Amino acid sequence: MSAAYVALEGGSVVEARCRAPGTSHGELVFTTAYTGYEESLTDPSYEEQVLTFSYPLIGNYGVREERFEDERVHPRAVVARELTDDVAEWLESEGVPAVDKLDTRDLVGQIREGGAMKCGISAGPDASPEKAKDALADCPGMSDHVDIGAQVSVSGKTTYEGGDGPDVALVDCGAKGSIVESLLERDATVHVLPYDVTPGEVADLDPDVLFVSNGPGDPANFEAAESLVSEFVGEVPLAGICLGQQIVARALGGTTEKMAFGHRGVNQPVRDLRSDKVVMTTQNHGYTVAEPGPELDVTQVNVNDDTAEGLESDDLQVLTRQYHPEANPGPHDTLGFFDNVVEMATDERRTPVAAD
Ligand SMILES: NC(=O)CC[C@H](N)C(=O)O
């Protein structure tokens, strides 16, 4: 098998083994998840990132399409201690470079010390350290991807008919399939809408809840979704997951900031401040809500670093989570979030948009 090189910001080049050839670059991040690689690799939130698995063996239970969160692989490249042939072949067929047989423990240590960093990758028969360095030199910063929503969103409305549950307007900023499924399982009708959908198009649907999805990149680059939320706050209940929480907070006068290396894994502990219970959650984010703004309460926090994990307003009917209640294969401690969203959407207090 041929060689591969990973060039890191700071000048070092790490030698590896090529498992899927190609040249690539992106923001180098790591996940501590030991299961769920099919879901992570198809999660649109990893767009423009190079995903390193800290767990050493990736691919042990094969590759099954029914586990995918989206139609394609989203990270620009994949790094692991050891990838199975199944995963390597899948990534090669998707044109996504993959490398293994390098010291991922050391790499993760460097990301923890230096923060998420740019990297360049060169893998295959023609790979060289110079090509990896050239790819690194061409790598934009995450915030430079100003229209990243266009890379991951639907281009037009798609409606999934449900039962007698609420009508959800889901703003697709890179939505995972599991979010749509979790809503359909609760009899909701889900209108999946482009990331830059206009207020008029949303008003025409007269939804029971406006739900902003997860997605890649810097939340500051989702201006259309932010102003959409400011338009409807107080008129339609609002829900959000991950990027969705960040966009809702910004729209309500809050701020977001980049974290050093973020939270990515399946065992992030979250404390609910009202019940004082701790739940295990799946996470994948590099930004966080720094200030929630004057109208939202922080109702849940991360046990490790106190960052905001849940924002709520009873008066305005807002309910958001920074983690992923829908995440497969789990943990499923927080699936009740979707029941709460459905309850909020069917709350009698709401005035229908069309009546305003
Ligand atoms: N999973 C997500 O929605 C990620 C949100 C945002 N892109 C972040 O990295 O913080």
Per residue in 217-254, pLDDT tens? 999 999 999 999 999 999 999 999 999 999 999 999 99
Query: In this predicted complex, what is the ipTM?
Result: 0.98
Residue 328, marked binder: no
* CA Rg value for the chain: 20
Residue 286, marked binder: yes
Nearest residue (CA) to ligand 1, atom 3: 214
* 19 Cβ contact partners less than 8 Å away, ≥ 6 residues apart: 1, 4, 83, 87, 88, 91, 92, 98, 99, 100, 123
164 plus 208 within the same structural domain: yes
Sorting pLDDT into bands at 50, 70 and 90, what band is 349? low
121 plus 157 within the same structural domain: no
Of 231, 183, 203, nearest to 344 (Cα)? 183
| Model confidence pTM above 0.95 | yes
Residue 91 has pLDDT above 50, yes or no: yes
131 plus 166 within the same structural domain: no
239 plus 324 within the same structural domain: yes
CA of residue 167 to ligand 1 center, whole Å: 25
- Residue 82 belongs to domain with CATH number: 3.50.30.20
CA of residue 325 to ligand 1 center, whole Å: 14
Could you tell me the residue range of the domain that residue 192 belongs to? 149-355
| Residue 76, token pair as written in the block | 């620009």
**Residue tagged active-site, from 47, 74, 242, 263:** 242
Residue 354 has pLDDT above 60, yes or no: no
CB distance 341 to 209 below 8 Å: yes
CB distance 176 to 214 below 8 Å: yes
- Which of 121, 140, 159 finishes a domain? 140
Average confidence (pLDDT) over 101-111: 98
